[in-house]
Amino acid sequence: MADTVHWVGTGLSTGGGVRVLADTTDVVLYGRTRDKAAACVDRLGLTGRVTPRALDELEPGRGDVVVSMLPATEHVRLLKLSLANGSHYANTSYVSDEIAGYADAARDAGVVLLTEAGLDPGIDHLLAHDLVARAEVEGPATATFTSYCGGIPAVPNEFRYRFSWAPRGVLTALLSPARYIEGGVETVAERPWEATAGHVLRGERFEAYPNRDSLPFVQQYHLPSQWRLERFVRGTLRLDGWLQAWEPVFAELRDPDPDRITALATDLAARYPTTETDRDRVVLAVALTVRGDDGTEWSGEHVLDVVGDDNDSAMARLVSTPLAAGITDILAGALEPGLHRAAESVDTARRWLEILARQGIGAR
């Protein structure tokens, strides 16, 4: 593969996926300054294998891939640059309406626009496609689907959490209503934390709450129209005891004041940071149960449980490696021009899962 990958961003989600790409293609990594980029390259152990540059030096060529690991507010700017240069584009974020608006332009330009190709969204999509394809129930049925993911401390603390990304974003995410299906009925939780429930995985108790809008994923995961959904929810996983530990935070969020939230986020991040000596842990659990009207039943669950190490945080590894799988597909010509949300077929999902498995990332 002769084309170049332009990886933009040196933050906490830039990890082992860069190493995967550097084994097969030219990679240039961009920071706000060349020194920041060089420091990130050194942290990844890729000095001499990956070229560091400043962001203002970004000039992608036709057929190259531009990877935006910047905040979501910067995605469109890099996408416009990619389209102008005939370069493909990839990120790990959810598809915004603004990004979706460039789908036709990307297709017409012969450009692949890859999104939702990280951990959550990303790996969760792969596991969901695999389970739906495995379900051995034909005809009308009742189905229950859950997908929960959380970044948590490997060693629990009294707050049951450590901040590893923008602290204000952690708090404001809790202010967005969650839409999902519960008891066969479309449900909206205006305060998602108030819908928190216990969730047991392999004998360990967690707490889980719904987030964002789960309903579009019924179609995205190709659930058969004959399945009646008793429950369909995508959400966030937290350590047992999180709900109680965060009660003072929720008291502020019930009557949110923007300035107070900013101050609270700054204070909490200072009190409960993820330091260089801390190890983070990521747990992702995707489960599907289908009960056919004819009495047949099928149930399956994938659980991914990873702790960070000296090379990468768990979050950086699990966000960047599936993205590398998607970029490999782009460079190999395996994705048609236009908008893609991670893997959109079971065959592609399983191919990506095989790539992850070769990197030591496998769900049980």
Identify whether residues 19 and 74 lie together within a single domain. yes
Q: Assign residue 189 the CATH number of its domain.
A: 3.30.360.10
Domain contains 131:
no
- The pLDDT value recorded for residue 166 is 77
- 16 located within any domain: yes
DSSP category for residue 235: E
Contacts of 119 (CB under 8 A, 6+ apart): 92, 149, 282, 284, 315, 318, 319, 322
Say yes or no: 333 and 290 in one domain.
Answer: no
Asked if residue 289 and residue 144 are part of one domain, the reply reads yes
Domain span at residue 153 reads 138-295
- Residues in CB range of 123: below 8 A, 6 or more apart: 284, 304, 318, 322, 356, 361, 363
Task: Compute how many other C-beta atoms are within 10 angstroms of the C-beta atom of residue 228.
Answer: 12
Domain membership of residue 133 (yes or no) is no
Is 268:249 a contact under the CB 8 Å cutoff?
A: yes
Peptide bond into 121 cis (omega under 30): yes
Please state, for a pLDDT cut of 90, what percent of the chain lies above it: 91
Q: Does one domain contain both 107 and 235?
A: no
Domain assignment present for 310: no
Number of domains in the chain: 2
Domain stops at, among 295, 328, 351: 295
Asked if the structure places residue 130 within a domain, the reply is: no
**DSSP 3-state assignment of 334?**
coil
Could you report the per-residue pLDDT of 147-166, keeping only the tens digit for each? 999 999 999 999 999 987 77
Is the per-residue pLDDT at 139 higher than 70?
yes
Mean pLDDT of the chain: 94
Same domain, 148 and 279: yes
d(CA 194, CA 247): 11
Q: Please give the pLDDT value at position 287.
A: 98
Residues 178-219: tens digit of each pLDDT: 999 999 999 999 999 999 999 999 999 999 999 999 999 999
pLDDT digit string, tens, across residues 11-34:
888 999 999 999 999 999 999 999
Same domain (yes/no): 115, 216? no
Q: Which residues of 99-127 are buried (b: 16+ CB within 10 A; e: fewer)?
A: beebeeebeebebbbbbbbbbbbbbbbbb
Could you tell me how many residues make up the chain?
364
Tokens of 220: 């995205």
Q: What's the confidence (pLDDT) of residue 44?
A: 94
The verdict on 96 and 165 lying in the same domain is: no
Paired tokens of 280: 């983070």
- How far the first Cα of the chain sits from its last, in Å, is 32
**Pair 83, 193 in one domain:** no
Same domain, 143 and 246: yes
CATH number, position 109: 3.40.50.720
pLDDT(1) > 50: no
In a domain, 59, yes or no: yes
Mean pLDDT calculated for residue range 81-92:
96
Q: Which of 3, 64, 120, 280 is catalytic?
A: 120
302, part of any domain: no
Q: Indicate if 167 and 229 belong to the same structural domain.
A: yes
Measured CA to CA, the distance from residue 191 to residue 196 in angstroms comes to 10
Same domain, yes or no, for 291 and 142? yes
Whether 306 maps to a domain, the answer reads: no
Residues 290 and 161 in one domain: yes
- Give the separation between CA 14 and CA 88, rounded to whole angstroms: 19
Residue 120 is a catalytic residue: yes
Whether pTM > 0.75 for this model: the answer is yes
For residue 2, what pLDDT is reported?
59
